[in-house]
Structure 1
């Protein structure tokens, strides 16, 4: 049985499930740094199904999206591939090429693996069309040694404490925040976080067209973002290695999905010992406490599922506690399966924070925004990070709103 993970960022010819043999299946994904986890999932899915499954990575994210959509349009929908939930999943389902997984979800819920709330994250109009790869919250990961060196006794509980911590870290020789702008997608991270820390309802309004990208709510978030750059709180956005400044301990904090704890662990930073986690506090005391939630789906071709019934066995394995624990052990990623172990101390810490503080869960911007706007808007956010001035912030807001206005005018 051949199980391989082919790392490729070069162009990939459309292969899909109709490749050389009916028993050959390619599992496509774009997740950099998750190679060991995908290898484990692919091996388990191959053994469970009897299919010959190979993995193929394509990056950056925008190129991966274009490849998948062009493959679907060309009649070569991949048998298995990762995607995004929210409006991104809605658009994918509209193609009619994605398998309905209701029966599989019914089994999984009856077995106690997942809840109805988790099914909803992967559903369109009440029907589940995907299974979870991971369910992740977006905290701030922080270097405990850096905090100790800067005299910071505990993670910030208020915005004033956050500013004080950032200043203390600078004084101690650290850049407060790691903030790369690579991969064609990372520009939305701080934009989203500053929006929910000032006005979470306005953030949601951005995703449905009811709030403009040049309105006062966005103006305030952009002013804070610009101010953070002026204060020297961020690393160079041009850095291509997403975690280098954390691993070499130049940067002390990283606002990112909790799955990054596994990547840092693989690069020598032990979650719980060297790395801790906290939620960024609201800027104003009266602002509702919130947390960004990312749910990453695995989807299946409807035609491939019909032609190869064994593909359902692969899907069933990928939902299982066994698969969740394998992914957690390899990369520290939490699948959301209720019967898996927390893969590392960061996930445990965030679970405890969520249980104690009960913050409002907000769907991540990448999944919540209409896909027709996603690429153009995040390009503008990336452009701000490369030139974080007041003048460029205004230009970015104006350009984002022009794109936003044009899209919603025809909806």
Structure 2
């Protein structure tokens, strides 16, 4: 992702390295073939698949996944990891211009996946998704991240739910209960401010958009979706009102100075902030500091801003595992993808990574994660795409700068929204 705001970005980037290392998102004939047949065996014998990823640090965990797939008489992966995201993206695009197309590779959802689909570079996986849905192996709403013109492409490598982490000792010291409404959350924040505690973490780079997506989706889910296709303007009264909510939270002193360079996991551990709005990858960062889930920290789903919204909103990001169309082992890679979506593979995933699985039938070994994932994937919740992946890149490029400036200076929200809408107008006019 792009780093910006030179006042603090250089030092903050170094301080955030540990966080980012744990963060995600991140066949047939050309144009996409049919999917495999659900992990019960396809048309190809198990083999060693060429696997390319920008998650170089995950090689030990994929060694464990190879042991699991080998035991299941599935293909294994020959791991090639890149540490530089830009170099990796360039490599993948170049590889499809050669005869050595990748069997399996990780990519991005949103517009970047759409570009590969339109170019016929990734295999269709519609059959795999149909079988996974029939087995209850994917939560409702996740499929939208992988659907283009009514067909599915790739499968979920992982999934991250954006929730609220809180320091349990800080909550106890200030007599707070886990909020179930937005008003209760704001009341908790005010109590903390009154007692000299900073309620929330916030960043002015990389994750500068987090509170925008939280407030807008929790205020008007239809407007949040409308921003993604240009049917709703960033200057729409609903969006302006949501920005004013965020603006007031900043004015009331609910956020830490975004220029602070201390890692967010350390800030939560020490109680310098009481709460942090992060993806579930944040669990690994806290556990690495020796914090114990359900003892030192807790997790809760962030309540809707608007209590009249029927479904509770949950933001999800997901990284795809893609099969290269026309690759040497395309069918075997599709068979592996079908296995990957099932319970056995995802149980191995949670054990190897200590993370959540996209599969609702698989529990995380972490009790705090299990509880919140069960909640947000339940019938009372509606899953929304993370704003970064849901937003066309030209709009995101401008908006990330504007949100970063807004977080840093807490200026007039309307000026920032007008600048973002100008970029949106230019983008949608060309579509």
Q: Please give the TM-score of this superposition, normalised by the length of structure 1.
A: 0.79
Q: 1:100 to 1:231 in 2, by over 3 A?
A: same
**Counterpart Cα distance in 2 of 1:312 and 1:367:** 24
Contact 2:103 2:329 in 1 (8 A): no
Confirm or deny that 1:27 pairs with 2:52. yes
Is 1:247 the counterpart of 2:272? The answer is no
Displacement of 1:369: 2.1
The answer to whether residue 155 in structure 2 is matched with residue 135 in structure 1 is no
Runs of 4+ in 1 over 6 A off after TM superposition: none
SS of equivalent residue, structure 2 residue 293: coil
In structure 2, runs of 5+ residues without a counterpart are 1-19, 22-46
Distance 2:134 2:184 in 1: 45
**1:67 aligned to 2:90?**
yes
Q: Residues 329, 170 of structure 1: CA spacing in aligned structure 2 closer, same or farther, 3 A cutoff?
A: farther
2: distance between equivalents of 1:283 and 1:349? 22
Q: Find the counterpart in structure 1 of residue 175 from structure 2.
A: 151
Residue among 252, 264, 281 paired with 1:231: 252
Change (3 A) 1:197 1:307: closer
**Where does structure 1 lack aligned partners over 5 or more consecutive residues?**
1-7, 10-21
User: Would you say the 8 A contact 2:162–2:279 is kept in 1?
Assistant: yes
Report deviation, 1:91. 2.7
Paired with 1:227 and 1:36, the residues of 2 have a C-alpha distance of 45
- Summarize the Cα distance change of 1:285–1:111 in structure 2 as closer, same or farther, 3 Å threshold: closer
Shift of 1:316: 4.2
Q: CA deviation at 1:112?
A: 5.7
> Is residue 2:424 matched to residue 1:409?
no
| Contact 1:144–1:274 under 8 Å retained in 2 | yes
State which of 335, 344, 351 in structure 2 corresponds to 1:329.
351
Q: Distance in 2 between matches of 1:312 and 1:286?
A: 43
Shift of 1:249: 3.1
C-alpha distance in structure 2 between counterparts of 1:364 and 1:399, whole Å: 21
Cα distance in 1, alignment partners of residues 96 and 306 from structure 2: 47
Contact 1:229 / 1:388 at 8 angstroms: preserved in 2? no
* Counterpart in the other structure of 2:387: 365
Does the CA-based 8 Å contact 1:188-1:365 persist in structure 2?
yes
C-alpha distance 390-181 of structure 1, shift in aligned 2 (>3 A) = closer
Aligned-pair distance for 1:267?
A: 3.0
Report the CA distance shift for 1:326/1:146 in structure 2 as closer, same or farther (over 3 A): farther
Q: CA deviation at 1:329?
A: 2.7
Shift of 1:212: 1.4
Mapped contact 1:99–1:129 kept (Cα < 8 A): yes
Does the 8 Å CA contact 1:188/1:381 hold for their aligned counterparts?
yes
Deviation at 1:247, TM superposition (A): 3.3
| Partner in structure 2 of residue 13 of structure 1 | none
Number of aligned positions between the proteins: 383
Higher normalized contact order (CA 8 Å, seq sep 6+, divided by chain length): 2
Instruction: Tell me which residue corresponds to 1:290.
Output: 313
Q: In the alignment, does 2:81 pair up with 1:81? A: no
CA RMSD of aligned residues (A): 3.5
SS for the counterpart of 1:244 is helix
Separation in structure 1 between the aligned mates of residue 161 and residue 217 of structure 2, nearest angstrom: 14
Q: Report Cα offsets for 1:84-109 as digits up to 9, x if no partner.
A: 33444323311211122345445655
1:176 to 199, 202, 212: 199
Residues 268 and 274, structure 2, Cα contact 8 Å, conserved in 1: yes
The answer on whether the counterparts of 1:114 and 1:338 sit within 8 Å (CA) in structure 2 is yes
